[in-house]
Amino acid sequence: MSSMVKKSRFHGQPDLISFVKSARDRKKPNPEFKQEIQSIYAEIEARPLPRDCQMRTRCCHFRLTGKTPLLTRGEALYLAIGVRGSGRKVLKPHPEGACPLLGRDGRCTVYAHRPFGCRTHFCEAAGGMYPRKHLADLIQRLEALDEALGGDGSRPLEGAVAAVLDEK
């Protein structure tokens, strides 16, 4: 990967580029990855695309929808912060085959840390899935971060988070 590509994916931020190099060298998550994830999530919110999520949680019922969000390593690490912050160390399967992070009250228990897919979801009531062309640059940034963090691509939510929670 050329430095030109790195600069375009990370908007030329020197701190982040050095972080990426550092993370790649050490193959351990550096806390600074949070800045990039938060920046990507903030960028979604800033884009003028109509959304009406209101925590509807229809997209959280994986068994019913037949769809599960796929997470890159950066997303999984960030989501795990929310999971640990709620006092959990492992994920328990949802009795109805929904997301293991869906609470008994029917609400997401980690809403502030929910992954990219949950923010650009396929819920028709909330406006349907974002067209990929509006998100391609953000997906590239997630993929570049995944590579920098030693990830191996997107994985289904349960497995991606469980793997991170298993790490010391």
40 versus 101: smaller Cβ distance to ligand SF4: 101
Q: Does 118 bind ligand SF4 (CB under 6 A)?
A: yes
Two tokens, residue 157: 């939510």
Exactly one of 80, 101, 135, 148 binds ligand SF4 (CB under 6 A); that residue is 101
**CB-hemisphere CA count at 13 Å for 150?**
11
Q: How far is the CB of 7 from ligand SF4 (least distance, A)?
A: 31
The answer to whether 94 and 100 have CB atoms below 8 angstroms apart is yes
Pick from 114, 116, 135, 155 the residue near ligand SF4 by CB under 6 A: 114
Residue 161 · residue 91 · CB < 8 Å: yes
Among candidate residues 65, 64, 63, 50, the one with its CA nearest the CA of residue 120: 50
Q: Which stretch binds ligand SF4 (CB under 6 A): 4-12, 23-31, 110-118, 144-152?
A: 110-118
Residue ranges in 22-61 that form contacts with ligand SF4 under rule CB under 6 A: 57, 60
- Select the residue interacting with ligand SF4 from 71, 77, 80, 108 (CB under 6 A): 108
Residues 55-74 that bind ligand SF4 (CB under 6 A): 57, 60, 69
| 102 interacts with ligand SF4 by CB under 6 A | yes
Q: CB-based contacts of 104: which residues, under 8 Å, 6+ apart? A: none
| Total residues found in the chain within this entry | 168
Q: Assess 80 for contact with ligand SF4 (CB under 6 A).
A: no
How many CA atoms does the CB half-sphere of 76 hold within 13 Å? 29
